[in-house]
Amino acid sequence: MSEGDLEFVVEPNEAGKLLDAILRGRLNKSWGAVRTLIERGKVTVDGDRVIEPTRRLRAGASVSLRMNARRFDPDALEDDRVVFHDPHVVVVRKPAGISTIPYEPGERGTLEEKVRLWLVRRAKHAPHASLGVVHRIDKETSGLVVFTRTLAAKKVLGQAFREHTIERRYVAIVHGLITAKRTFRSSLVEDRGDGLRGSAKDPNIGQPSVTHVAPIERLQRSDGLDALAAKEAATLLACALETGRTHQIRIHLSEARHPLVGDRVYTRDWIRDGHALIPAPRMMLHACILGFEHPITGRPLRFLDAPPEDFVSVASKLAGRKVTVEPEKLPL
């Protein structure tokens, strides 16, 4: 550690307090100086960079201050998030909290924008970077995404996605217990009758959708210390997409009465059934495996990405012990 660096765990009496207040209590610095350190990207919480001084922290959160950390650039994509790139494709690890592509005119800070900027900066003299979108994942979902860099690659890879020959596997934390492998099949429509996307009652309309799931681990404390976790058990789940419709995993699991932990949309039925929602900082879904044939060379490519710390933290809290997820060992 360099001079001025700091590491600590948030104490129970600090739970719910703001990051800047907690950090200032440990540093001999002014409010302005502490907030500047945070906004410049010098502070991480549970391994993730946090640039909002007013972020409220939970007890047990791990906070780290690194004075020599690279200054935060809100438009930059960290080099370690690019797992593969060549003249035809680029594969990146999307963080939770940013859109894959703009959903509204003028939306900034999307993954697409960050990847374009990364490619331009790497080329140094390139005036722009061409980028093709062939799939996307939800804003709150983390994990692997591929973009194409040439029209030929986009045509081939886009067709592969339409023909469902791409390997796409996720890990999720869901409410309730799923104890065996299951397959969900339905036709998805934009409005199932209550304003939400969902499965059509008439199988002849909508988009045919198939999701395979398999339990990895039951997440339920046995020590009786966590009343919520004891009452509302959860399951660490592997999900494999046979098709790739919008919100497919979220819809299929919700309609099976196992909504994703942290989902703020597809939980009406769960709440209506009298269940409580398990708290989480975001939707607990991570795209951990992406496999496809290279669109130009035909070489098989397969990428694995373990879930980030916020996902692991929720799973570990529910289980009452440290939980690890190894993508290469998924039961699907």
Averaged pLDDT in 10-residue chunks for the chain of 332 residues? 87 92 92 90 87 89 90 77 96 95 83 90 66 95 97 97 96 96 96 89 91 95 51 89 95 97 94 92 97 98 97 94 95 92
List the beta bridge partners of residue 91: 84, 146
Report the distance separating Cα 174 and Cα 233, nearest Å.
9
Average predicted confidence (pLDDT) for the chain: 90
CA-CA distance, 318 to 316, in Å (whole number)?
5
Contacts of 18 (CB under 8 A, 6+ apart): 53, 54, 55, 56, 57
Residue with tokens 């390139």: 126
Q: What percent of the chain has pLDDT over 90?
A: 73
* CB 261 within 8 Å of CB 204: no
Cβ atoms of 242 and 215 closer than 8 Å = no
CATH superfamily, region 79-329: Pseudouridine synthase (3.30.2350.10)
Neighbour tally for 197: CB within 10 Å? 18
What is the per-residue pLDDT for 126?
A: 52
The CA distances from residue 125 to 122, 128, 176, 279, in Å, are 9, 9, 53, 47
Active-site option among 138, 263, 305, 310: 138
C-alpha–C-alpha distance, residues 302 and 124, integer Å: 29
Identify the H or E element spanning 162.
helix 151-162
Cα of 306 vs its chain's centroid, Å: 11
Out of 3.20.20.140, 3.40.1080.10, 3.10.290.10, 1.20.58.340, the CATH code matching 6-65 is 3.10.290.10
Closest CA to 247 of 322, 170, 146: 170
Domain boundaries, the chain: 6-65, 79-329
| Residue 138 appears among annotated catalytic residues | yes
